[in-house]
Amino acid sequence: MTSKILEDLRSELDVLDNKIVELLDQRAVMALNVRAAKQAAGIEHSLVPVREAQVFAKLGKARLQKLTHSQLEQIYVEIVSACRQLQSQNRICVLDEKAGWVHAAAMNRFGSSCEVVAADTFEDFSSELARGFDSFGFASFTPDFSYERLNFIDALMSERLFVVEEFNHSPEFCVVSNTARDLSETSEICVTADMLRQLRQFFISLSYDLKIKICRSMTEVLENMQSVNPVAGILPVEIAKSAANELIILRPGLKIESMPRIRFFTLATKPINEYAPGLKTLLLCAMDEYSDKLSLVFSELRQQNIKVTDVHSVEFSGKPFSSVVALEMILPENRTSFDQAIAKIESASLLLKICGFFPVFRE
């Protein structure tokens, strides 16, 4: 390729870049027009999960020549993030440690323009959500028992929180270093006890004689990267990329084998989505005789042709009920069928709560 051809191609790229910048600026202006229309319609929040789900669903159907759909989605995450922040200062609070994998998942979903903060306790998490109408929560929803999980379910049961969207994400981690260009050049690798357990196979595969330093948190892992000696650490890939100017990524693509995909819920202090066929809902049924009454529940759902996507129970103590059964289902075309099923399920439960209607990102 001659220098003349290269110069011409670069000139064409410059023209395309100018067009892209112009279109992005037009999109930003349109976002501000949408904000004005929302305010006129009495809509307080800038995050509209159903609309954003539609935008990203269309991206998945786009006809591409070279760009992958995953690459296109990553670009649009940042575009939507910037436009959303023009409408209002979104604040997302994650129920996790700072720089942890839930924090990283929130960055993956909401982009770098969104303010993401972390809360270690459910009390702090709830306080953050109470700050204003554009404060949202973000938490993983797995069957694992924990004190914070019980608080989470209790908040849903008491209608202090509602689910506004579901986000499915495969956490990815990477090995980083402060100065070394290869893992063999480092003297130690910093990791949390949780990551040591979850990425056990990676550590088994290492052929280097490395000292493993167990850190109390991901923040401490980052602090260790300030050492003057060559040090390695394991971080969520989104956290590592946000510190790209300071850290060298030695090995990307580490995944938790036991949790290939994790479900996250975005939460608000009030429901923001209306009933619509195809959306999901989460039902929490408080029961005292789990096995007998649950069979009645499933019988009613089958009779109404309602698709159940997930079910599990959480045991409680010190409550009028012994367990809470979480049922996730797709909303049917016929609202009457849903209402009839809910009435029957409620009669079989000590207490029933509908935790919101919501779209799903990355089904």
HEC string of 45-111?
A: CCCCHHHHHHHHHHHCCCCCCCCCHHHHHHHHHHHHHHHHHHHCCCEEEEECCCCCHHHHHHHHHHC
> Do 209 and 242 fall into the same domain?
yes
Domain boundary among 225, 255, 285: 255
Give a yes or no: residue 14 inside a domain: no
Give a yes or no: residue 3 inside a domain: no
> Do 115 and 130 fall into the same domain?
yes
On the question of pLDDT at 4 being above 90, the answer is no
Sequence letter at residue 296: L
- What pLDDT band is residue 151 in, cutting at 50, 70 and 90? confident
> Do 295 and 165 fall into the same domain?
no
> Do 55 and 157 fall into the same domain?
yes
> Do 324 and 185 fall into the same domain?
no
Give the chain's domain count: 3
**pLDDT score recorded for residue 108:** 95
pLDDT in tens, 167-183: 999 999 999 999 999 99
Domain boundary among 245, 272, 299: 272
pLDDT in tens, 89-109: 788 999 989 999 999 999 999
Give a yes or no: residue 344 inside a domain: yes
On the question of pLDDT at 290 being above 60, the answer is no
49 vs 147, residue with greater confidence: 49
Domain boundary among 255, 289, 312: 255
On the question of pLDDT at 34 being above 80, the answer is yes
> Do 183 and 326 fall into the same domain?
no
pLDDT in tens, 44-57: 788 999 999 999 99
**pLDDT score recorded for residue 300:** 84
The structure's pTM equals 0.90
- What pLDDT band is residue 214 in, cutting at 50, 70 and 90? very high
Q: 3-state class of 172 per DSSP?
A: strand
- What pLDDT band is residue 327 in, cutting at 50, 70 and 90? very high
> Do 48 and 167 fall into the same domain?
yes
> Do 115 and 160 fall into the same domain?
yes
Average pLDDT value for residue range 9-32: 96
> Do 72 and 197 fall into the same domain?
no
Give a yes or no: residue 8 inside a domain: no
81: domain range? Answer: 44-171+264-272
> Do 165 and 299 fall into the same domain?
no
> Do 164 and 179 fall into the same domain?
no
Residue 216 is part of a domain; what is its CATH number? 3.40.190.10
17 vs 318, residue with greater confidence: 17
Report the percentage of the chain scoring pLDDT > 70: 96
> Do 326 and 184 fall into the same domain?
no
Give a yes or no: residue 21 inside a domain: no
Give a yes or no: residue 250 inside a domain: yes
Give a yes or no: residue 296 inside a domain: yes
The set of long-range contacts for 269-273, using a CB threshold of 8 Å and a minimum separation of 24, is: 269/129, 269/130, 269/160, 269/161, 269/162, 270/162, 271/162, 271/164, 271/356, 271/357, 272/45, 272/47, 272/48, 272/49, 272/162, 272/164, 273/49, 273/50, 273/164, 273/356, 273/357, 273/358, 273/359
